[in-house]
Structure 1
Amino acid sequence: MESKQRSAIHTFDIDNYLNHIIPRARFYLLPKPISHWFGYRAPPKGEPKAPVPATSVLLVWLFSFLGAFIGIAIIENVFRNLPLLGGHSVPLVIASFGAAAILEYNAIESPLSQPRNLIFGHFLSACIGVGITKLFLHLPEARFEELRWLAGALAVGAASTVMGITKTVHPPAGATALLAATTPEVTELGWWLLPLVLLASALMLASAMLVNNLYKRFPLYWWTPVDLSKPTKADIVKAKDVEKAGSGSSIHSASDAGLKQNALPLPAGNSSDAASTRRDQSRLDTTSKEARNIRTDPELKIQIELDRIVVPDWMELSQWEAEVLEGFQIRLRASTGN
């Protein structure tokens, strides 16, 4: 029982609980001139087109400058014209969005810069930073000032953990939590920081969509790279199943069953002995593979095909790893019009 609990913790993935209730983005229903700015690209029809030439590095630098300049300028001017919030003046800008601008305009293909991470990363971090600071404010004022450093450290640590659990990691959001605890101007805002963070995130996302889609695609996805339109997203099978069943091999869903179908069977005996045996066998198998030919041996290859993904028998995938492979399969299908 204890072993099962540890396994559940080690393999926990919040998307296993959320993806089935998150609706698929419906931007494909909009006219093409509009859906383009939301990052939607229609799959190519007919014969696959030649690969698009790489974007000039000078163009990337130019748009990263324009995007960062425009994004921050919009936030600053909106904040300048906001009324007092609960009697508190609004800062010219929340400093953490300067770092966010680098991600949103210079690393637009990174998972860390996608809308889910930008919006929820900052919002959750602001909640944590304000909440921890409010607890420290129950101390006498002089004592609170002495312990600001501790409140800031706790806020960043807790924000990092929560972003990791919720798959919303956004490095600049750590600064949002830190500012709530260590910067008096932001501390005075209290819970008013939350709507400001949401507003700044929305403005930055909107400007990033306008600037980045002039020369590239942004965002690559809104919630997850996995296709949410189907209950099963990728057919992940073991190499031995392909050999036995050929092209008619039965398929397994990596998302619906948490990859349990693809796991190696446990040997007889108690769970700890079985886990130890599996680790030992994995090490032996890995050692024996060193002398094999990686080009021809199916035990040393991952194959991504239009209708399935084939992984070696000895390899067990986490949910995150399965999603990465599914993302490549989606791109492969899109390039062939499937």
Structure 2
Amino acid sequence: MTRPPMLSAAAWQFDMDAHLNRFVLPSIVPRLPRPVAHFLGYRPPGHVQRKIGSLVVIAWAFVGVFCGVSIVTVVGAHVPVFRGVDGAATTIGSFGAAAVLEFYTIESPLAQPRSAILGQVLSSVIGVAVARLFSLLPAARFAALRWLAAALACAAATAVMALTGTVHPPAGATALIAVTDDNAYHIGWWLVAAVLLGSVLMQATALLVNNVQRRYPMYWWSPETVGSFWAGGRAATSATMTAAAATHGDEKPAPPADEGLECPDPEVGHVTFTRSALSSQQLTAVGSHEHLRVVITRNAVVVPDSMFLRPEERLMLEALSERL
């Protein structure tokens, strides 16, 4: 007898944001003075981002990568506790890959602050923890199994980043470096502080350079709406009324599918994402998913209420809307 698909292990999934986003405090960036908010990635409603050519993008990426890597390297070299074997400066090579993401492919979800900072820090913690665990073995045994520790650290870091929504490819290298690089291994838990400091410095540089002619970040925590828990009774009352209407067959018409239910998010720029909903009568009449659709217009995207969008999918729809 075949088990129902949803009971199969292959159908299991976990989305931390579905449980956490409602408790995340809404962004205060839109309330800051306009020049400050601008360099924190906020653009007011109706703002149209000026298009720039690829050569200008490359030029700004060159400036950003040069400045970002220089600052991280110089500052790290002047912190005594970050010095490795024989007092040599510890160079965290993964910041080179991070710089490419944070100064060139700045629209990617992998380059946003949540991933760029938390992904690096979590991976450094895992890398150091695995290295310390294997170091409990005799020295000769640890040397022989260092390859295993490196693989385990990178694999565990990847899994943790995926579960926490903080995937940042250079962070996989950070976990690897924590085990295989002698200088990084020598400073132990100070590597976590070095990675945190470097990530913050890289982000500060990215905010200054990328917001001169472009926009960064696209969001700070998530492109989805956050903070519904703190919205108070109004959101709770609205949800209760909607549930009651569905339960008791309320005849009050639902918003048309093309109009939707607005879900404003000040972190997502000037493209408005809305949710379309169907009444219980409409759902009965449709009887399938053939009438569920995504509508993309200039500065507006409407998606079915039942559709979950990953960050990269939301950014793709936003980019398409801006090009219309």
Same fold (TM over 0.5): yes
Give 5+ residue unaligned stretches, structure 1. 236-243, 263-280, 286-297
Q: 2:127 aligns with which of 129, 151, 175?
A: 129
Counterpart of 1:84 in 2: which secondary structure?
helix
State the 1:55 CA deviation. Answer: 1.1
Aligned to 1:20: 22
Number of the residue aligned with 2:205: 207
Match of 1:35 in 2: 37
Aligned 8 A contact 1:115 1:205 in 2: yes
Work out whether residues 226 and 327 of structure 1, in 8 Å CA contact, stay in contact via their aligned partners in 2: no
* Residue in structure 2 matching 1:302, options 273, 276, 294: 294
Deviation of 1:34 (Å): 1.1
In the alignment, which residue of structure 1 is the partner of 2:73? 76
Which stretches of structure 1, 4 residues or longer, exceed 6 Å deviation after superposition?
Answer: 1-5, 249-254, 305-308, 329-332
Code of the residue aligned with 1:201 in structure 2: it is S
Aligned to 1:294: none
What is the one-letter code of the residue matched to 1:35? A
Q: Percent identity?
A: 39
Distance 1:174 1:196 in 2: 16
Structure 1 90/114 Cα, relative in aligned 2: closer, same or farther at 3 Å? farther
The reply on whether 1:56 has 2:48 as its aligned counterpart is no
Shift in alpha-carbon separation, 1:155–1:253, aligned structure 2, 3 A: farther
Query: 2:178 is matched with which residue?
Result: 180
Aligned residues: 279
- Distance (Å, rounded) in 2 between the aligned partners of 1:252 and 1:40: 23
In the alignment, what sits opposite 1:163? 161
The runs of 5 or more residues in structure 2 that have no matched partner are 240-251, 264-274, 279-286
Q: Is the 8 A contact 1:304 1:325 kept in 2?
A: no
Name the SS for the 2:220 alignment partner: coil
Change (3 A) 1:143 1:81: same
What CA distance in whole angstroms lies between the structure 2 residues aligned with 1:201 and 1:193?
Answer: 12
- Pick which of 112-121 and 72-81 moved more: 72-81
8 Å CA contact 1:103, 1:112 repeated in 2: yes
Tell me the amino acid that sits aligned with residue 170 of structure 2: P
Give the superposition deviation at 1:137: 0.4
- Are residues 63 and 10 of structure 1, via their aligned partners in 2, closer, same or farther at CA, if it must alter by over 3 Å? same
- Cα distance change, pair 98–326 in 1 and its aligned pair in 2 (3 A): closer
How far off is 1:159 after superposition?
0.6
Matched residues in 2 for 1:79 and 1:310: separation?
Answer: 46
